[in-house]
């Protein structure tokens, strides 16, 4: 059974880069028809999609983040990373990684496995 575990610094200073890792166990980031997404949730608020990367390496991002986000794969470590530059207090949130799985008929990808999330606070 695939499990995802997010990790990273719980506290980041304003203007610094927020860096998180999602470690995949019970599955591979190298093979199969999957994508790996990052989604965040400020305390008491709703969900915001940040970006995703396919096993092929193709990436897509939320334009609202103004190109501050980078999602990458480290297939040797079976990890997915998120880097968010120029962090501000508005980036304070719980960050989730999620796996998107391909459904063949009808064709679609759905996010069927989520990590528990990691809390990041941006503050001096």
Partner 1 sequence: EIVLTQSPVSLSVTPGEPASISCRSSQSLLHNNNQNYVDWFLQKPGQSPQLLIYLGSFRASGVPDRFSGSGSGTDFTLEISRVEADDVGTYYCMQALQAPETFGPGTKVDIK
Q: Which of 3, 16, 48, 85 binds partner 1 (CB under 8 A)?
A: 48
Among 81, 96, 120, 122, binds partner 1 (CB under 8 A): 96
Contact range with partner 1 by CB under 8 A, out of 7-15, 17-25, 27-35, 46-54: 46-54
Q: Does 54 bind partner 1 (CB under 8 A)?
A: no
Beta pairing class for 48-54 and 34-41:
antiparallel
Pair of tokens at residue 10: 């719980």
If one asks whether residue 59 binds partner 1 (CB under 8 A), the answer comes out as no
112 belongs to the binding site for partner 1 (CB under 8 A): yes
**Residue in 25, 60, 66, 72 binding partner 1, rule: CB under 8 A:** 60
Phi-psi region of 44 (alpha: psi -120 to 50; beta: other; left: phi over 0): left
Q: Single out the residue of 37, 27, 30 nearest to residue 99, CA to CA.
A: 37
- The separation between CA 21 and the C-alpha centre of its own chain, rounded to angstroms, equals 8
Strand partners, 46: none
We find the least distance from the C-beta atom of residue 124 to partner 1, in angstroms, to be 28
Q: Does 47 sit near partner 1 (CB under 8 A)? A: yes
Please tell me whether residue 109 binds partner 1 under the rule CB under 8 A. Answer: yes
**Cα atoms in the 13 Å half-sphere on the side-chain side of 52:** 17
Tell me the two tokens of residue 67.
Answer: 């190109």
Give residues in contact with partner 1 (CB under 8 A).
Answer: 46-49, 60-64, 96, 98, 103, 106-112, 114-117
């Amino acid at each position: 059974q695939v499990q995802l575990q997010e990790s990273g610094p719980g506290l980041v200073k304003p203007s610094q880069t927020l860096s998180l890792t999602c470690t995949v166990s019970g599955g591979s980031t190298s093979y199969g028809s999957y994508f790996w997404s990052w989604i965040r949730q400020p305390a008491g608020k709703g969900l915001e999609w940040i970006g995703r990367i396919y096993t092929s390496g193709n990436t897509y991002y939320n334009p609202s983040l103004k190109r501050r986000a980078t999602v990458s794969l480290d297939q040797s470590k079976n990890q997915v990373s998120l880097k968010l530059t120029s962090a501000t207090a508005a980036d304070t949130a719980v960050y989730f990684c999620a796996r998107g799985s391909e459904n063949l008929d009808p064709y679609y990808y759905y996010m069927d496995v989520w990590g528990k999330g990691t809390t990041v606070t941006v503050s001096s």
